[in-house]
Amino acid sequence: MENFNIKKYNPSHKKLWDSFVKEAKNATFLFQRDFMDYHSDRFTDHSLLVFKGEKLVAVLPANISGSELHSHQGLSYGGLVLSKKCTFPETLAIFKNVLAFLNREGVAVLKLKLIPKIYHQLPSDEIDYLLFLTQASLTRRDITSCVNNENSLKIKSSNRLRGIKKGVKNELEVKEEAKFKAYWNEVLEPNLMQVHNQKPVHSSAEIELLQSRFPENIKQFNVYKDDEIVAGATIFETSNVAHAQYISANEMGRQTGGLDFLFNHLLEHFSHKKYFDFGIVNEAQGLKVNKGLLHWKETFGGRSITHDFYEVKTENHKLLNDIFI
């Protein structure tokens, strides 16, 4: 354990952090500091860098709350981010050192919201096994619908095909745009407020700021009927995955097949990606499934993968001693 040194992130580490994340085997642009830090006022950042000697070998995007460390709550996913060269024995040593460090610092529990495996650049399931060894508790499991473009299913649902034809008949047009305000104001925010009495996680100003920082990764696709926005979706694009979120349509969009038309377009547009991720279908902390939403995604060929949440007691670092035979 003496070869490892763990440091709490500070802004002087930004260049080193970002360079490491870009080359990691299980990271996306969400772990870049320009993404993480846009809402730094909402969370107490407590991200960690793990060095082996002088070399950075892992990072943990995280925030702290009381005696609990969370893989960053402002991100859709997280966990221990590893170098492509990281072997299982080294990952074990890294995780053991992280838990022991946190335990010494008075952090009793580490809560991890793991990155779904479709986002991995290389096999990276070491942490799953180490969580088993440290008797971590599975506290939540969501299901996410995604399309594997290397073995995709044809759209056969009569409802989807009818919706796509309706969009063609109504001469709908899909446009990729760098501005978000009109869609937020005219479609997304009114719908979320009416249906769920909620606002989007990102304001239009925040999503435009993030898009300006990551123009190759964050894209807005709007559906127009003549000159009116009637539907849309925001795409977070990574090396393997096109992930759709903020999916919505107004009344005109629903009447004219706006979302069916849009997603038929998006599946074709992003067919070069290994996966198209429609996003989760859960409510009530993973205990309930929105059946209608699931059905809509599955009729486009989406099939389920899991998104897991764990918590582990930091004192259980001792359980990682002497596991090799």
170-216 per-position pLDDT tens digit: 999 999 998 999 999 999 999 988 888 889 989 999 999 999 999 99
Q: What's the pLDDT at 2?
A: 57
Return all residues near 201 (Cβ < 8 A) that are at least 6 apart.
none
Token pair belonging to 204: 């239009």
Choose among 188, 170, 95, 165: nearest CA to 133.
Answer: 95
State the Cα–Cα distance between residues 275 and 152, nearest whole angstrom: 9
Measured from the Cβ of residue 285, the count of other Cβ atoms closer than 10 Å reads 11
Q: Which domains, and CATH codes, for the chain?
A: 4-141+308-320 (3.40.630.30), 153-270 (3.40.630.30)
Token pair belonging to 111: 């809560």
Model confidence, pTM: 0.94
DSSP-assigned beta bridge partners for residue 81 = 59
Instruction: Give, in degrees to the nearest 5, the angle at Cα 77 between 72 and 81.
Output: 80
232-283, pLDDT tens digit by residue? 999 999 999 999 999 999 999 999 999 999 999 999 999 999 999 999 999 9
State the Cα–Cα distance between residues 36 and 214, nearest whole angstrom: 12
- Residue 259 has φ and ψ, to the nearest 5°, of -75, -40
State the Cα–Cα distance between residues 234 and 218, nearest whole angstrom: 7
Choose among 189, 166, 158: nearest CA to 252.
Answer: 166
Instruction: Summarize the confidence of residues 53-61 as an average pLDDT.
Output: 96
Token pair belonging to 181: 């305000």
User: What is the Cα gyration radius of the chain?
Assistant: 21
Return all residues near 234 (Cβ < 8 A) that are at least 6 apart.
180, 207, 218, 219, 220, 221, 244, 245, 246
How would residue 75 be classed by pLDDT, with cut points 50, 70 and 90? Answer: very high
Q: What's the pLDDT at 1?
A: 45
State the Cα–Cα distance between residues 46 and 259, nearest whole angstrom: 40
- Mean per-residue pLDDT over the chain, rounded: 95
